[in-house]
Amino acid sequence: MIIDLPSTSTSAVNKALVDLRDSGGAVALGRVLTLCVVTDDAHAEDAIEAANEASREHPCRVLVLARGNRRGTARLDAQIRVGGDAGASEVVVLRLYGPLVDHGETTVVPLLLSDAPIVAWWVGAAPEDLQSDPIGAIAQRRITDSAETPNPAKSLEHRRAHYRAGDTDLAWTRLTNWRALLAAALDQPPYEPVTQVTVAGAPDSPSTELLAAWLAVKLKAPVVRARTKKGTGVQSVRLDRKSGAVELIRPDQTVATLTQPGQPERRIALARRPVKDCLTEELRRLDPDEVYGETLVHGLPAVGARTMSVAQAQAQGRISPPAEAARGQAAAQKESARVSRAMKRAQPSDAAQRSGSAAVPANAFSANAPDGNPPQDQGTQAVLRARVGRGTATAAAKSAAARTAPAKSAPAKAAPTKAAPTKAAPTKAAPAKAAATKTAPAKSAPAKRASAAKTSPRTRGAAS
């Protein structure tokens, strides 16, 4: 639901929020923070969309300061969005015109949530000193994006010169997956020091500068940057060690190839992260990012201005040609597609069909499985069926032989048993084969002893 309030004031907006909460049930309770988005009118909708997606993980009140034309009289046009138009938050869009553009903090303060942290996000160009900005002064976290400024390198230098605890940059957040992959590769043996680092990326990519600075600080190794075409972002990272190089190459901005000594090549999804994912990650923490501060303040000066072209880096063996990685990825993808098509066309074998149609008791599987569950391997199932079938056939044959045996009168004398001789009443004659089961041929005994043998537990078990 969207409510428009043209030519209004902050008190009228606050009153509309209270009335909306009382009448429509759109509550502002349970919000964990206030997100102040500073942007221009042209990029307001993109910023609102990203804030709505981030609010699904971090319910908040979003205050969007959309700066319009500075000419004309001061005017404030407000818009309230709740429900499906606001994600899991409530969005208040404040469009400022005239002299009011330079005094956006006066419209923000009356709409802040009480006792809730404040996060400020500058979508495009940001002030050089965030701490001295009126909105940045009241915020615990200050988020900028150097990649969206006209001069990313200059913007990154401003961030370094005026860094305060709580500042962060979405250009740094886009490196989370790169840093995780490189750190995981170095956590595996052999644990050798890195002797040289080469980072290839676009000259207009602040993420390339920050990645090189982070590696320089953490590895204490010389870092060289190779320049690629503009707009390509980070392309590759090579870490040279005595046993071999660890190389992460992303030739197509989507899939990367990780190469390590003694291990097969691995293809990894490594596409550029959208703004909504980066913003969601930054809102997960409200404390200062010490690693970013160390990288920005100490890492950038350590890297310096040592750069070279990609052709020079390839000629010196510092990086592998991205075309080779692209061909390898294409070949691996083609082979994967071929195997997938072969698996779809494959038919079950005759042995699998026969084993699948055989009737086997369900308890036969669970009794032979180590964890009590039916085994999933078809070969194991076939073996179990064969064993169960042989056991069932043997038992059936014995039972049929016992039923079809001719009934003959028992001889007067039976084989002696270990049971003590006792006197018992004469019983009916039993088949000779039943009396002789599991007993060795022996000399004849008196008739009373044969009757006693029939009543003993051992002989009854053999007969049954």
* CA pair distance 207, 435, nearest whole angstrom: 93
Gap between the Cα atoms of 149 and 158, Å rounded: 12
Q: Is 127 helix (H, G, I), strand (E, B) or coil?
A: coil
Q: What is the pLDDT of residues 87-101, one digit of tens each?
A: 888 899 999 999 998
pLDDT at res. 414: 42
DSSP H helices, 283-321, are 290-294, 300-303, 310-315
> Residue 438 above 80 pLDDT?
no
Of 165-169, 223-227, 314-318, 352-356, where does mean pLDDT reach its minimum?
352-356
Q: Please, what is the average pLDDT of the chain?
A: 79
Cα(306)–Cα(309) distance, rounded to whole angstroms?
Answer: 11
The confidence score (pLDDT) of residue 277 equals 95
Q: Do 44 and 51 contact (CB within 8 A), yes or no?
A: no
Query: DSSP for 342-389?
Result: HHHH----HHHHHHHHS---HHHHHHHSTTSSPP--HHHHHHHHHHHH
Domain boundaries, the chain: 2-169, 173-275+302-330
Q: Which residue has the tokens 């000066």?
A: 301
Tell which wins on pLDDT, 27 or 159: 159
Question: Alpha-carbon distance 346 to 253, whole Å?
Answer: 35
Q: Could you give the CA distance from residue 222 to residue 217 in angstroms, rounded to a whole number? A: 10
Q: Which residue has the higher pLDDT, 5 or 89?
A: 5
Return the SS3 of 211: helix
Which helix (H) or strand (E) is 101 found in, with range? none
Which one, of 227, 219, 221, 215, lies nearest residue 153 by Cα? 227
Q: Give the integer Cα–Cα distance in Å for 430 and 427.
A: 9
Lowest mean pLDDT, pick from 87-101, 291-305, 423-437: 423-437
Q: Give the C-alpha separation, 25 to 310, whole Å.
A: 59
Model confidence pLDDT, tens digit, residues 319-363: 888 777 777 777 777 888 888 888 888 877 655 555 554 444 444
Length, in residues, of the chain: 464
Strand partners for 256 = 268
pLDDT at 388: 53
- Dist CA 443 CA 415 (whole Å): 7
Structure confidence by residue, pLDDT tens digits, 198-249: 999 999 999 999 999 999 999 999 999 999 999 889 999 999 999 999 999 9
